[in-house]
């Protein structure tokens, strides 16, 4: 009896409101307060992080120029089979589009975009636009008039380029970033060998990043171990030395490496003076210099997470393994090292990710053979103002990073990622 | 057999900084099969002794022999001594069974033998079903049992334990004390156990070595330590103790007369080599003090003022002032408490001369 009573009658608070409702109200209030506290940061992240990334990703496939300038032409090309010359109506549409574009001064936008895919298109379009409206002679169609003006208008490939850009989205930039193009049959194919560039740049970026990471690990792991085993007072002092480079800008550090490493630099001077070498070593403006400077700059990113993980491993683990009969070296490898993997992998991942986006060190200390993807991002952004290509390269870098992170969390487990 | 020496320290000294000795001239024999506890406050050198025995510290001077061999230059991984640590030190990336198999694999045992021994090891600490778990999935008590099993599974002659129960709560600690004690009795292995908890030391040990400032103050069985402390430090460190300070006025064989500050005379056993006129600290255990009528037959009888009444369920502690010295504790079973006692009452306290020991003078 009493049981059914307690089950059927909802408990109420002192003022008669059901307890559940009251609890929910309180919980909602707490959540609201928490939300308000988080809101500024969330907005900041949205505006400075998520929106730019989203814009970057859209930019890499965005293709508004041709569609907006040659609106009627692209519309008219929709039913075209892509093999024979387009119908006269298409030429009429192009004539009208160009006339309007000439008035709106938007011809160069479309001309530049089309020129990317077929060189010479810029001059063709601008020349045609200046002559518009064409006055076809008697018995001549608009098509004949166009071809009479420039025989390239009778070439199917030029029309294919326009048709391909009939959508406001294009895979062109992304494909170009991977040395791919749309073949005549519309399927992706590799560009001719002498035009290929980006695959080898991506390969070089990954290869150099790999070696910088390996060197950082090889130098950073023993140092972190040493720091972790020292008494706190000494290790703090040394940790300041590790962090000291952070207090100067990367630019200054790279510049000082140039001073040190160039042919008449301090390092070569010392080596010559000591008689270790007869002629100055080539240390700067090649891959060696880039490796030296990048390892130096990125080393703390391996040391810090490794150190923090090692610091949390009490010495009794090694002692236990040794007391059980294991040789200290074997015990280190079997007991100590596995426990540091999470921190070391985090550091390595961090270094690798920073490497593949590195710009300033290769730009200043490397020859053209050392330039990595980010150099070309800067090149397309600042020099040729081709934001589509810059965004596409950036997106591919982002994708590479995400893939690496995915791989890492499969191997080590993301929840074990320890950045100290 | 029982008296055969397994480990001996001879003139062992240890210094970390070259200025002060953390272990001063240690001579210690550990008998085969005994449970020896090194007891002392922190910094007294007991852990350093254990680490020298394990091989993680080297003596600055002196020799350590183990089973007839000089141990000084044998590296720790060849000593074949089991060790249990306070934080268990179970390898977190290995399962319980893998942890136990670790020392066995190193000893190149066959697969089936390892499996058998791991199984027996787990059965020994009653964790048969947890072999596949990782240490992080076990409770503190379970982890410590695994650590025990791991230190015993390769059948070392000697097992060292460095405050193994320090991280456990009180109830579990008391349970584990008995468990370790029974394991020791069953296996007959020699155990050297370090702790700063005197209750733990008294419960488990065959002998206890009390350390202070790098010197063994006394090494004896638990009851001897408690009933016959050799000096004031041991008397105060082990169990509860009442100290009365006074001056020796007369020597009479085993006994001596001591004058307290208020002039009262106390007959005590002369333990320290004291001369007439020297200052002494006398030690009386609280449960040896008798009150009022019961005190009638005692050689020593004094007046005391009841200062505080502390009820503890099974007994009552009376804090009293005796001969002008406060903090004198008397334990009375609840059944013997007189309801008429009031704070401020004057009472007779008394104790037998054999129950009070005149020891070296404690710094006041």
Which residues of chain B make contact with A314, given a CB cutoff of 8 A?
A: 87, 89
How would DSSP label each residue in B140-172? HHHHHHHHHHHHHTT--SEEEEESTTTTS-HHH
Tokens 């009429």, located at residue? A92
**A135, burial (CB in 10 Å: exposed 0-12, middle 13-18, buried 19+):** exposed
Residue in A320, A327, A338 nearest the CB of B85: A320
Kindly list the structural domains of chain B, giving each domain's residue range(s) and its CATH number in brackets, ordered by start: 5-233 (3.40.50.300), 240-359 (2.40.50.140)
Interface A-B: count of C-beta contacts within 8 A = 60
| Cis peptide preceding A133, ω within 30 of 0 | yes
Kindly list the structural domains of chain A, giving each domain's residue range(s) and its CATH number in brackets, ordered by start: 2-59 (no CATH), 64-167 (no CATH), 198-416 (1.10.3720.10)
Q: Are B53 and B29 in contact (CB under 8 A)?
A: no
Distance from CA of residue B273 to its chain's centroid? 25
Q: What is the mean pLDDT of chain B?
A: 90
Instruction: Say yes or no for a CB contact (<8 Å) between A325 and B150.
Output: no
Instruction: Say yes or no for a CB contact (<8 Å) between B106 and A316.
Output: no
Residue in A317, A319, A326 nearest the CB of B106: A326
Instruction: Say yes or no for a CB contact (<8 Å) between B77 and A316.
Output: no
Give the orientation angle of helix B111-124 with respect to helix B96-106, to 10 degrees.
130
Q: Which residues pair with B318 in a beta bridge?
A: B309, B330
Residue in B77, B87, B107 nearest the CB of A316: B87
Q: Residue A84 phi/psi, 5° resolution?
A: -90, 175
Q: Are A243 and A251 in contact (CB under 8 A)?
A: no
Residue in B87, B92, B106 nearest the CB of A324: B106
Would you say residue A53 has pLDDT above 80? yes
How would DSSP label each residue in A157-186? HHHHHHHHT-SSB-SHHHHHHTTEEE-TTS
Counting residues of chain B whose pLDDT is more than 70, the rounded percentage is: 99
Q: Which residues pair with B311 in a beta bridge?
A: B316
**B311, burial (CB in 10 Å: exposed 0-12, middle 13-18, buried 19+):** exposed
CA-to-CA dists, residue B327 to A60, B292, B294, B330, B355, angstroms: 85, 19, 21, 10, 19
Work out whether the CA dihedral A271, A275, A279, A281 comes out positive or negative.
negative
Q: What is the pLDDT of residues B150-202, one digit of tens each?
A: 999 999 999 999 999 988 888 889 999 999 999 999 999 999 999 998 889 99
Q: Which residues pair with A3 in a beta bridge?
A: none
Q: Residue B295 phi/psi, 5° resolution?
A: -80, -5
Helix/strand/coil for B238: coil
Q: What is the pLDDT of residues B120-162, one digit of tens each?
A: 999 998 899 999 999 999 998 899 999 999 999 999 999 999 9
Tokens 């707490």, located at residue? A30
Would you say residue A29 has pLDDT above 70? yes
Nearest residue on chain A to B159, alpha-carbon basis:
A323
Tokens 């009939």, located at residue? A166
Q: What is the pLDDT of residue A413?
A: 65
CA count, 13 A, side-chain hemisphere, B82:
27
Q: What is the pLDDT of residue A13?
A: 74
* Test mutation, A314, A317, A318, A323, chain B, max B CBs within 10 A: A323
For residue A339, the distance in angstroms to the closest alpha carbon of chain B comes to 7
Q: What is the mean pLDDT of chain A?
A: 88
């Amino acid at each position: 009896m009493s049981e059914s009573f307690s089950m059927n009658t909802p408990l109420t608070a002192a003022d008669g409101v059901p307890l559940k409702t009251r609890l929910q109200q309180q919980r909602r209030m707490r959540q609201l307060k928490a939300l308000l506290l988080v809101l500024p940061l969330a907005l900041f992240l949205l505006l400075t992080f998520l929106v730019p990334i989203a814009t970057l990703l859209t930019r890499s496939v965005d293709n508004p120029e041709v569609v907006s300038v040659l609106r009627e032409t692209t519309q008219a090309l929709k039913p075209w089979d892509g093999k024979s010359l387009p119908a006269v109506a298409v030429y009429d549409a192009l004539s009208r589009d160009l006339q309007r574009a000439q008035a709106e001064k938007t011809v160069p936008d479309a001309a530049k975009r089309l020129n990317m895919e077929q060189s010479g298109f810029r001059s063709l379009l601008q020349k045609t636009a200046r002559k518009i409206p064409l006055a076809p002679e008697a018995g001549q169609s608009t098509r004949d008039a166009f071809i009479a003006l420039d025989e390239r208008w009778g070439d199917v490939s030029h029309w294919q380029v326009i048709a391909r850009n009939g959508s406001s989205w294009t895979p062109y930039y992304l494909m170009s970033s991977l040395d791919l193009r749309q073949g005549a049959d519309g399927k992706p194919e590799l560009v001719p060998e002498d035009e290929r560039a980006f695959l080898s740049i991506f390969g070089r970026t990954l290869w150099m990043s790999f070696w910088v990471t390996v060197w950082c690990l090889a130098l950073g792991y023993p140092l972190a171990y040493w720091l972790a085993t020292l008494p706190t007072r000494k290790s703090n002092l040394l940790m300041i030395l590790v962090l000291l480079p952070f207090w100067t800008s990367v630019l200054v550090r790279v510049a000082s490496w140039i001073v040190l490493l160039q042919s008449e630099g301090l390092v070569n001077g010392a080596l010559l003076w000591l008689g270790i070498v007869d002629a100055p070593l080539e240390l700067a403006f090649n891959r060696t210099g880039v490796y030296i400077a990048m390892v130096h700059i990125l080393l703390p990113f391996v040391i810090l997470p490794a150190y923090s993980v090692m610091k949390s491993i009490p010495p009794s683990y090694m002692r236990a393994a040794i007391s059980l009969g294991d040789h200290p070296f074997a015990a280190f490898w079997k007991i100590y090292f596995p426990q540091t993997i999470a921190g070391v992998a985090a550091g390595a991942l961090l270094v690798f990710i920073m490497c593949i986006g590195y710009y300033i060190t290769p730009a200043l200390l490397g020859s053209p053979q050392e330039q990595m993807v980010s150099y070309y991002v800067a090149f397309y952004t600042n020099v040729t103002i081709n934001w589509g290509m810059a965004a596409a390269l950036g997106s591919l870098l982002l994708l590479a990073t995400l893939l690496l992170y995915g791989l890492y969390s499969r191997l080590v487990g993301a929840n074990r990622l320890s950045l100290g | 057999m029982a008296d055969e020496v397994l480990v001996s320290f001879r003139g062992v000294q240890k210094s970390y900084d070259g200025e002060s000795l953390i272990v001063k001239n240690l001579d210690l024999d550990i008998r085969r099969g005994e449970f020896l506890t090194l007891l002392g406050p922190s910094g007294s050198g007991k852990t350093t002794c254990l680490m020298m025995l394990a091989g993680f510290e080297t003596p600055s001077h002196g020799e350590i022999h183990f089973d007839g061999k000089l141990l000084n230059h044998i590296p720790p991984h060849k000593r074949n001594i089991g060790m249990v640590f306070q934080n268990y030190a179970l390898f977190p990336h290995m399962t319980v069974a893998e942890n136990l198999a670790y020392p066995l694999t190193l000893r190149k045992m066959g697969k089936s033998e390892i499996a058998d021994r791991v199984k027996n090891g787990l059965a020994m600490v009653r964790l048969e079903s947890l072999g596949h778990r990782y240490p992080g999935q076990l409770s503190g008590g379970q982890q410590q049992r695994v650590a025990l099993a791991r230190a015993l599974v390769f059948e070392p002659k000697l097992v060292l334990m460095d405050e193994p129960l320090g991280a456990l709560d009180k109830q579990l600690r008391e349970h584990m004390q008995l468990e370790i004690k029974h394991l020791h009795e069953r296996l007959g292995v020699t155990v050297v156990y370090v702790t700063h908890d005197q209750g733990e030391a008294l419960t488990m040990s065959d002998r206890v070595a009390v350390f202070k400032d790098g010197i063994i103050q006394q090494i004896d069985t638990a009851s001897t330590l408690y009933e016959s402390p050799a000096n004031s430090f041991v008397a105060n460190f082990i169990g509860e103790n009442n100290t009365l300070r006074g001056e020796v006025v007369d020597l009479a064989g085993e006994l001596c007369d001591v004058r307290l500050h208020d002039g009262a005379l106390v007959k005590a056993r002369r333990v320290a080599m004291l001369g007439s006129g020297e200052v002494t600290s006398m030690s009386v255990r609280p449960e040896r003090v008798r009150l009022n009528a019961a005190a009638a037959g005692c050689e020593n009888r004094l007046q005391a003022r009841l200062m505080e009444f502390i009820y503890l369920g099974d007994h009552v502690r009376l804090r009293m002032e005796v001969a002008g010295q406060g903090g004198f504790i008397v334990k009375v079973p609840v059944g013997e408490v007189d309801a008429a006692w009031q704070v401020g009452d004057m009472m007779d306290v008394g104790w037998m001369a054999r129950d009070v020991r005149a020891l070296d003078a404690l710094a006041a």
